[in-house]
Amino acid sequence: MLSVSLATGWQLWASHNQTLTAADTNNLNLAQALNIYAEGIFTQSDMLLQGVAETLKSEGDASEHIQRVQSLVSQQKHLLDPLDGVAVLDARGNWLMYSKGPVPPGTNSAGRPYFMHHRDTRSKEVLISPPLRNPFTGEWGIAVSRRLEDNEGRFAGVAVIGLGLTNFLRAFGTIALADSGTIGLSTDNGQMLVLYPYREQDIGLDFSKSANFQRHFSGTSGTASFRSSIDGMKRLYAFRRSDRYPVLTTVAVGRDQALKTWRRLALLTIAVVGALLAAVAAVGWRLIINIGRRIRAEASLVAAREDLLQANRRLEILAAQDQLTSLANRRGFDEMLAQESRRAAREGQPLSLLMLDLDYFKRFNDAYGHVAGDQCLKTVATALKLGVRRPGDLVARYGGEELAIILPGTNLAGARNVAQFLLEQIRALGISHGASPHGRVTVSIGVAALRGANAGSPEQRLVEAADAALYEAKARGRNCWIAQDD
């Protein structure tokens, strides 16, 4: 069961890692697709700005140039869904044209970061600015701008396209994300441009000094897992850096959400495996119990290990115990005698048997009652148990008031000594017996012994010999022992 548990745990862990890997792959693919979308928007904006710059740089009247720019923008506007407007600024920042309508007098953007950048930097590269508010509508947008120069290469102003965040968010919103998922577009130095789901307080956030940004968002693309500094939720992130523009696309999904299906399957697997293990454990436990019982039942036949044999013998004695006297019962006696007779035959050792009978016990019951008779039997049984001290000896209730004692490894002479000792012990109890000619409770004992190997059924002959000796002791007046050698 331990191996099954370990295998299940390993499979769940492998499945856990595969789920996270699949989520990273999906996020990375989505980031790549969104990066292509963003690059397309910026490329179209750049091409439009190049057309504006070339139109304004040509010879002719400036007002005619502005009209041609208006016409150019009108022709290509349908190609740019997120387009919020195209504006042309002169070298002092004054607005010369706005594609969405007339420019209010005095409109100037000389203080805008994109204007100052183009004024101070002689570069024809397109600039993508941090989010700015449209000076006319107040809506947030991204400014994509290009430096304008005259024929002599001097700064002549800025052509700028406003890309509304609303249009970006509408496009991002068409992508099915989990509740905790996010899509972000930021500059490659860590300034947020667009974040979906939209929250105005997130616009323009600067992550450039963030440890997570510096640690995980280097290189062209990659994945990472960390806790968001915005809402504190742990997410799986994937990013793709644009090869053409200084922007970075990120896709994130909540780690818990990504593992939701895995957790449900893991719990189901654990429940099923747990139930199977419980069933196997129950069956195994019952099997162990049955095997244990069989071992205990058959252990008496195992002769190679004496210690285990003796321990099982004691267990057998406890299992086959007379309820009244706590001695071994007839079944226990028979099993022990058969076992010891085989041992005696195998090892060539003597085996003795004492058969005891309480003298005039029926008269005792008639005179004192059966309760007193039971107590008398218990007292005599206790005295016999105390008188037979060796661990291998067995005192048993043979039947009624008849008792028996098995003495392994004891010859006839030793058995006689034991019989004499026990006879005196019972007399010493001093249990009053007015219906007996001896005036107290006494016993008659028949003694028999086996010497070495015997053919046939030696235990039966031993019982018969001891029983015959017992009857002879009774015939001689009781309260004595008689030994009969086999």
Weakest-pLDDT range from 218-232, 390-404, 451-465: 451-465
Q: How far apart are CA 386 and CA 407, in angstroms?
A: 14
**pLDDT tops 90 at residue 213:** no
- What are the backbone angles phi and psi of residue 367, rounded to the nearest 5°? -80, -40
Average pLDDT, the chain: 82
**310/340 Cα distance (integer angstroms):** 12
Where do we find the tokens 């740089």? 57
Flag whether pLDDT at 101 surpasses 90.
no
What DSSP designation does 237 have? Answer: E
| DSSP annotation of 230 | T
The amino acid sitting at 464 is: E
Query: Is there a common fold for 1-258 and 304-485?
Result: no
Element (H, E) at 419: helix 412-429
Which range of 130-144, 148-162, 356-370 scores highest in mean pLDDT? It is 356-370
| Whether pLDDT at 350 is above 80 | yes
Taking the model in full, what pTM does it have? 0.51
**pLDDT class for 486, splitting at 50, 70, 90?**
very low
Q: What is the CATH number of domain 304-485?
A: 3.30.70.270
What residues does each domain of the chain span?
1-258, 304-485
**pLDDT, tens digit, 9 for 90 and up, residues 58-86:** 655 556 667 666 666 666 665 555 577 78
pLDDT of residue 379: 93
Q: Which amino acid is at 181?
A: G
Split at pLDDT 50, 70, 90, the class of 445 is: very high
| 367-383 tens-digit pLDDT | 999 999 999 999 999 99
Is pLDDT at 444 greater than 90 in this prediction? Answer: yes
- Alpha-carbon gap, residue 314 to 318, rounded angstroms: 6
pLDDT in tens, 241-286: 888 888 888 888 887 777 777 777 778 777 877 787 788 778 888 8
Which residues face 399 on adjacent strands? 402
Q: What is the DSSP string of 424-479?
A: HHHHHH--B-TTSTTSB--EEEEEEEE-S--SS-HHHHHHHHHHHHHHHHHHTTSS
Helix (H, G, I), strand (E, B) or coil at 92: coil
Give the tens place of pLDDT for each residue, 104-128: 888 888 888 889 999 998 888 888 8
- Domain 1-258: state its class: alpha beta
